[in-house]
Every structure is written in structure tokens, then in C-alpha cells.
């Protein structure tokens, strides 16, 4: 995509809420209304629809059809992507392919969920949870990441002060983000992190993401069409890489390894870039240890050096490597399986120069990542990376 055949012309996002009483369709409608108001387009101008499978609608086998009906759309191309937190960004790549091959001209990519209201519904999402994980006390993602953190600590040594610094940096971003969960829009300190309640040792409360209700989305079309329609403030996806079921042949995998060891180098290779060329980093952040693993395996530093890198690198909007400037999911909230759109939307907002008090000056590109599913005794299920570039 280095020749920029497609462009994002607008983004939309609603405020994350702990419990809203709404369904994913309502958030999607609010996001689409923002997109139409921003661009001056009508429903009938949209002929492509990309969605993900939200936890709140996991039992609906006709989710995309239902979404199109609720939004009054008549798409010629549809896509339902179910790779967890990788889905919102994966839908950009899939919509780009559809546009390039003539299957649609203007696609809307939507991510919305209401897990705060409806609950998670693990039993509908994966039989392996109750068959293999719950009987041995493996109760959800915090336990998985607790074990992963122990494995990392034994292999390299885990610097809790580095994780604390990440927590503080991201919370500072959420303070100025009007779409963050309201209760998170207040500062925390290093000591707050270190004394926060242990959830699954060594995972603490402030390591963890909070599931909530919310939604986000974007409009994407061909660059030629975007310019012909008069849109000037564009964001281009210039490189993308994705992997699912990393290292399936190893019966006893090193769970500190992830698909980012493959897609990280690959996303740079495709466009002749290196990590040092990146102006902003917006990693998927369901747990802070996941951010540190990405920093290492994508190539910002060597294995085991993530803690030192974090402590020695200014990651504020004015720093050397701005990171999750809107707070990330940990400090803005994770709207279920639409959570991957939180970091993605912030990256687009920054590249369009619309992040107000937390704006990264002179940023021309951003690296965004996604993570999907934590299976039984395996590396996490999906990993993806995308480089975005401003016009």
C-alpha cells in the first residue's frame, strides 16, 4: 500500500461508558452519524460495510445483516472479521482490498460493543475456556497475563517501575480525552500503581483494562475518489501485516513470544522503514505487559530490554516516542471487541491534527497494533500491525 491507493477520509468515536444500557447497533448509529456529518455524505453514498463480532451479539449469526438493516445501508460488499482486538484494523486492510478490486467505492468500518451492559459471555465465545481453563482455576485474561508476566520475569526480570511509568503516561493521555471513561480522567502516580490491588500476581489493578460500552469507526475510499470529492485531510494506510495462531506446531510454546516477532519486522520491511522512523506508537493495551512485549518484539529494543527502554524514553505527546496519547484502552476503556478501534482512532485523530491539548506536533506517521484472543496454554491468538501516514 506504499503507493497510497486508499485513504481514510473521516473517523468517529463516542464516549466510552461503564454501563450504558445500549446495544452495539446504537453506538454504531451514533458513530455513523458523526461520519456523515463530518463528510456531508448520505447513507446511500456508502456501499461497503465492515464490522467485527462483538461479545454482546455473539449469538447473532446474521450480525452484519442486522447492522446494515439498523443503519439503513444497502452495501454491495460486507465483511465480518472475528480476530478479536485485531478486527478494527484488519477491516481497514480488507476494505482496502475490496476498494482496489472494485467491490465497493466507499466503505464504513465500524467497531462497537456493550460488554459493560451485557457481560462478556465467554461460554458463547469459546468452548476451550470452560473445557480447559476454568477447571484449573484459569479465570480469564488477568490470570493468563499473570502467568505470562511470571514467565517473562523468570526469563528476563520484570521491572514493575517500568510498567508503572507506562500506566502513568497513558493515564495522562486519558485526562485530556473527552471520550475516555469519565472516572479515568484523573491522574495517577507511580506509587498508585505499585500499591494497587493484586489481581493475578504480579498483575495489579492498574495493569488491567476495563471493559465498557462504546464504539468507533471510519470511512475509507480510493485516494483518487477522496481527492475528487474535495477531501484534503487524509490518512493513508501504507503498510499492514497480520498473523493468527502463531507457532501452532510447538506443544510447549514459549508464551513470552508473540506474532509481533513476525508482523513487526514485516510491516517495516514492506515499506523500507525501521522502528526509528516511527513518529507515534499506538499499541493494543489490554494489559501493560502486552505493551512491553510489543515494544521488544516489534524492534524498538532487544528482548528483555523493554523495561529500560520505557524508563529511558519520554512517551508523552512531546517526547521521543509518543505512546497511546489518548490513554489507550487501559485508561480510556475497552469497548469489548471493538477495543482495537480505540488506539486506531486516536492515531487517525493525531494524524489529522485534531487531538487538541495532547496533539503530537509534526507527526507524519503512526504505528498501530492489535491483539486478539488469549487461548489455552498458547501464545495469544492474533497479532497485527499497520503504519498510517498523514497527507
Contact 67, 43 (CB under 8 A): no
Contact 13, 212 (CB under 8 A): no
Residues 6+ apart with CB under 8 A from 47: 74, 75, 76, 77, 104, 105, 106, 107
Close Cβ partners of 362 (under 8 Å, ≥ 6 residues apart):
279
- Neighbouring CB atoms inside 10 A of 107's CB total 28
Q: Is 131 a member of any domain?
A: no
Identify whether 70 is part of a domain.
yes
pLDDT value of residue 385:
99
Give the residue from 340, 373, 361 showing the smallest Cα distance to 125. Answer: 373
193 shares its domain with 217 = no
Is residue 106 within 8 Å of residue 9, measured between CB atoms? no
Query: Does residue 172 sit in the same domain as residue 280?
Result: yes
Q: Are residues 147 and 249 in the same domain?
A: yes
| Residue 42 placed within a domain | yes
CA-CA-CA-CA torsion sign (351, 352, 356, 362): positive
Same domain membership, residue 175 and residue 310: yes
Sign of the C-alpha dihedral, residues 240, 246, 247, 253?
positive
Q: Identify the DSSP state of 323.
A: B
Q: State whether the Cα torsion 43-49-50-56 is positive or negative.
A: positive
Local structure of residue 234 (DSSP, 8 states): -
| ∠ Cα 223 224 229 (to 5°) | 95
Q: Give domain status of residue 130, yes or no.
A: no
Other beta carbons less than 10 A from residue 110's beta carbon: 29
Domain final residue, candidates 201, 235, 269: 235
Q: How many domains does the chain have?
A: 2
Helix, strand and coil content of the chain, in percent to the nearest 5, comes to: 45, 20, 40
Write the DSSP symbol of residue 316: S
**Residue/partner pairs of 184-192 with CB below 8 Å, 24 or more apart:** 184/210, 184/327, 184/331, 184/332, 184/333, 190/161, 190/164, 190/165
Nearest to 16 by CA among 331, 388, 364, 368: 331
**C-beta of residue 265 within 8 angstroms of C-beta of residue 383:** no
Instruction: Determine, yes or no, domain membership for 143.
Output: yes
Same domain, residue pair 40 and 109: yes
The C-alpha atoms of residue 44 and residue 59 are separated, in whole angstroms, by 29
Whether residues 204 and 224 fall in one domain: no
CATH number at residue 95: 3.40.47.10
Q: Of the residues 235, 270, 297, which one is the last residue of a structural domain?
A: 235
Residues 20 and 163 in one domain: no
According to DSSP, residue 180 is labeled S
Main-chain phi, psi angles of 263, to 5 degrees: -75, -25
18 domain residue, yes or no: yes
Q: Judge if 322 and 256 occupy the same domain.
A: yes
Regarding whether 142 and 60 lie in a shared domain, the answer is no
Given this model, what pLDDT does residue 136 score?
74
Residues 288 and 255 in one domain: yes
Do 169 and 228 lie in one domain? The reply is no
Same domain, 161 and 292: yes
> Is pTM, for the whole model, over 0.85?
yes
Output the tens digit of pLDDT for each of the chain's 391 residues: 678 999 999 999 999 999 888 999 999 999 999 999 999 999 999 999 999 999 888 888 899 999 999 999 999 999 999 999 999 999 999 999 999 999 999 999 999 999 877 765 544 555 666 777 677 777 778 888 998 999 999 999 999 999 999 999 999 999 999 999 999 999 999 999 999 999 999 999 999 999 999 999 999 999 999 999 999 999 999 999 999 988 877 777 888 999 999 999 999 999 999 999 999 999 999 999 999 999 999 999 999 999 999 999 999 999 999 999 999 999 999 999 899 999 999 999 999 999 999 999 999 999 999 999 877 667 788 999 999 999 9
Does 279 reside within a domain? yes
Tell me, yes or no, whether 287 lies in a domain.
Answer: yes
Residue numbers of the domain that contains 36: 6-120+212-235
- Residue 299 sits at the vertex; the CA angle it makes with 295 and 301, to the nearest 5 degrees, is 70
Amino acid at each position: 500500500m506504499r503507493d497510497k491507493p486508499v485513504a481514510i477520509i473521516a473517523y468517529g468515536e463516542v464516549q466510552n461508558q461503564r454501563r450504558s444500557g445500549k446495544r452495539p447497533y446504537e453506538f454504531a448509529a451514533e458513530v455513523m452519524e458523526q461520519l456523515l456529518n463530518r463528510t456531508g455524505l448520505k447513507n446511500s453514498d456508502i456501499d461497503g460495510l465492515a464490522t467485527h463480532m462483538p461479545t454482546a451479539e455473539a449469538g447473532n449469526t446474521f450480525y452484519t445483516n442486522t447492522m446494515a438493516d439498523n443503519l439503513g445501508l444497502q452495501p454491495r460488499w460486507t465483511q465480518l472479521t472475528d480476530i478479536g482486538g485485531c478486527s478494527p484494523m484488519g477491516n481497514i486492510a480488507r476494505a482496502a482490498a475490496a476498494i482496489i478490486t472494485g467491490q465497493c467505492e466507499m466503505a464504513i468500518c465500524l467497531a462497537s460493543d456493550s460488554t459493560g451492559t451485557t457481560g462478556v459471555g465467554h461460554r458463547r465465545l469459546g468452548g476451550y475456556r470452560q473445557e480447559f481453563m476454568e477447571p484449573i482455576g484459569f479465570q480469564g485474561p488477568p490470570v493468563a497475563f499473570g502467568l505470562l508476566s511470571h514467565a517473562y520475569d523468570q526469563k528476563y526480570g520484570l521491572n514493575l517501575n517500568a510498567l508503572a511509568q507506562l500506566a502513568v503516561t497513558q493515564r495522562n493521555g486519558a485526562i485530556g480525552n473527552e471520550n475516555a471513561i469519565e472516572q479515568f480522567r484523573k491522574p495517577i502516580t507511580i506509587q498508585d500503581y505499585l500499591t494497587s490491588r493484586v489481581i493475578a500476581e504480579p498483575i495489579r489493578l492498574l495493569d488491567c483494562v476495563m471493559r465498557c460500552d462504546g464504539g468507533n469507526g471510519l470511512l475509507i475510499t480510493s485516494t483518487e475518489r477522496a481527492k475528487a470529492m474535495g477531501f484534503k485531510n487524509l490518512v493513508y494506510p501504507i503498510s499492514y501485516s497480520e498473523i493468527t495462531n502463531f507457532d501452532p506446531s510447538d506443544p510447549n510454546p514459549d508464551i513470552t513470544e508473540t506474532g509481533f516477532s513476525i508482523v513487526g519486522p514485516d510491516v517495516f520491511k514492506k515499506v523500507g522503514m525501521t522502528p526509528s522512523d516511527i513518529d507515534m506508537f499506538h499499541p493494543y493495551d489490554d494489559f501493560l505487559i502486552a505493551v512491553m512485549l510489543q515494544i521488544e518484539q516489534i524492534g524498538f529494543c532487544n528482548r528483555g530490554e523493554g523495561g529500560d527502554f520505557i524508563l529511558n524514553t519520554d512517551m508523552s505527546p512531546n517526547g521521543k516516542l509518543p505512546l497511546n496519547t489518548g490513554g489507550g484502552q487501559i485508561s480510556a476503556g475497552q469497548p469489548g471487541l471493538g477495543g482495537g478501534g480505540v488506539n486506531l482512532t486516536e492515531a487517525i485523530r493525531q494524524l489529522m491534527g485534531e487531538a487538541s491539548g495532547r496533539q503530537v506536533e509534526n507527526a507524519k506517521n503512526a504505528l498501530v497494533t492489535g491483539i486478539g484472543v488469549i487461548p489455552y496454554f498458547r501464545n495469544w491468538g492474533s497479532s497485527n500491525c499497520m503504519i498510517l501516514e498523514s497527507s
